[in-house]
Structure 1
């Protein structure tokens, strides 16, 4: 069975592709950009565009399982072409944002919900993997920590329940390989709710060097987010952080339920990525 992995330039997709290759499975990596090889991956790279039926048909030829990032543009075309190509199962990397209070007003939640609904109504067997905040989101602090040992935050006391990309990938791979997980909706978080300030402290402990936090205005922080995120997404991130100040969130045991082991905590993630911050 050949697997198509989308988003392999990201932390989770790359880990999914690598784990499938380690299992000896044929893997095809989808790319919307130049068809260059990905470091550390020996998989075939193919063009991928959810809006183009011909490109999709070529990418999905002979594929039976797909790891899919949640992009609403062209999702109906994807489901139609996937059915015609004989795809048996899609594992979607969705988001717990779809369950959050006010999800109907969240750009992030709406886009993930649209993809979920398109897949579950398509007739394709689907697993909806819903993680909370990615621990790897804190890599956006890496340049500042390396250069100044300081992180500027609008809401240092905002909570998240960061989940390790390895856990998301291993759950997704188990779902791809074990038919028992088809139709399930695993909810994934790390084992604890942490403020952003505490996450900075744990990174500092991992690298063995103090890191300070400077609180900045929401307006200044939004400008920085908008430099690498679409404006509506930057606004949604900022609103989400503001709503989580002083409010620890629930944690879910989906990692244990699927893999039979506890989720990695943020301290472990920081140790695994210490070189990114040194």
Structure 2
């Protein structure tokens, strides 16, 4: 459950090592470099992060001190968009790259509207998946699976996904702060189109995406350099490029806007986001 779309497959087992030893070695290696999911957790004030994550995140904060506020703005947007979908009758949610478990998780929000709503959390980070799985083992209709955004057919074919979601009925696909970690060479537009085509008409797409439209170029370059040493590169996109992800969808008013401008409620929420957000309904 992270904004990290890296491969869902585990690392190969080195010759001469047991599976358990190889897994421990791979986990130690993963903990030795910054992970974008754990950096995001740190920005949100969470505790599921390691020293390399905090060091890289602090470097980002030196460049863009408002990054913590921007992370909160993304979380508040997700809450509003998910609640909107639930109030429109959506009862199935597929949260891809959801981040480490925190307060106000998707299933908590939608089940305040309908206690029978079903939620699938998908992530590639095995630590996040294991932790979330432990927390949710007693929650019926809520499952956590390890999957890869870039392979939508494989993700949707996962037995737990198939057992929980009925793709012949509308589903809300959530892609909050994840696509800006997928470079164009991995065809993120094709991946989103694959998810769209697999879902029934009336399905929702909830998407937020980092942009460079309001950030000085030198700051963008510095931030990208930090993320190149992490688990995923940073790929901010323009408003026009982000809008392309909604091909085949009708946008809910007010369209693709700054996160704080998407159907703000009466609470006091962060206004700095450096991200666009929107909700689309599949035609």
TM-score, length of structure 1 as denominator length: 0.41
Structure with bigger gyration radius: 1
TM-score by length of 2: 0.40
Higher relative contact order (CA 8 A, sep 6+): 2
